[in-house]
Amino acid sequence: MTETVKEALIGRAAVLEGLPEHPAVKAILAWNPQALTDAKFDRNELTLTIATDAIRAALQTVQAAGYNFFEDMTAVDWFPAAPRFQLSYHILSHAYKERIRLRVMLEGDSPSVDSITPVWPAANFYEREVFDLFGIRFDGHPNLRRIMMPDEWQGHPLRKDYPVEGYR
């Protein structure tokens, strides 16, 4: 946290007004403004919320805009709130020396989303991990099997309704 913390911008309108020249925001707007459902710039981190069915195309768009490195993806379980699951993709740009977060929200009932392995093969293990520990399916994933837990395991340990200790 060497850099100074800039003022937070909460909400889609505030981000569009405050960061109109941001390369990722520009690219997403030029591609499909409807896909950007929410946005925030908080603690120097830009978060763009994308419509669930558009995530693969959105990641292709930011990839073309210079955000070339898939760094991380994971899920957050907001149980019992709805929509239940949040997927966070952290994308790094080697050119801009900057990171953005794209996120999608998923309903809790048999959640599934497009796999982004066609965009970044690096997402392979990450999506398997989310599938294993959260039970979110990734359509088009080449090898969607459990990765951490034994293959015959029942349940998804990182869900909030899965206890930390004791019997299930």
Partner 1 sequence: MTELAGMPTLEAAQGAKDQHMVINMGPQHPATHGVLRLVLEIDGEIIVRIYPEIGYLHTGIEKTCEAKFYQQVIPMTDRVNYLDPLSNNLCYCLAVEKLLGLRAPEKAEWIRVMLTELSRLNSHLIWLGTHAMDIGALTVFLYTFREREDILRLFEAVAGQRMMTSYFRIGGLSMEPPLDFFDRVQAFIRSFPEKIDEYSNLLTGNPIFRNRLKGVGILSAADAIALGVTGPPLRASGVDIDLRRDMPYSGYEKFQFKVPISTDCDCWARYEVRLVEMRESVKIIQQTLDGMPEGPVKADAPKIVLPDREKMKTQMEALIHHFKIVTEGFPVPAGEVYQGIEAGHGQTGYYVVSDGTAKPYRVHMRYPSFATLQALETMCKGRMLADLVAVIGSIDIVLGEIDR
Q: For binding to partner 1 (CB under 8 A), which residues are involved?
A: 1-2, 5, 42-43, 45, 47, 68-72, 74, 76-77, 88, 90, 92, 94, 97-99, 101, 120-126, 131, 133, 137, 144-152, 157-158, 162, 164-165
Minimum distance between the CB of residue 19 and partner 1, rounded to whole angstroms?
18
Q: Given the complex with partner 1, which of 21 and 151 has the nearer CB atom?
A: 151
Which of 84, 131 has the CB closer to partner 1? Answer: 131
Is there a contact between 123 and 135 (Cβ–Cβ < 8 Å)?
no
- Which long-range contacts (C-beta less than 8 Å, at least 24 apart) are formed by 121-125? 122/70, 123/70, 123/73
**What are the φ/ψ torsions at residue 147 (nearest 5 degrees)?**
-120, -40
Report the residue number, 51 or 76, with the smaller CB distance to partner 1: 76
The nearer residue to partner 1, 20 or 139, going by C-beta atoms, is: 139
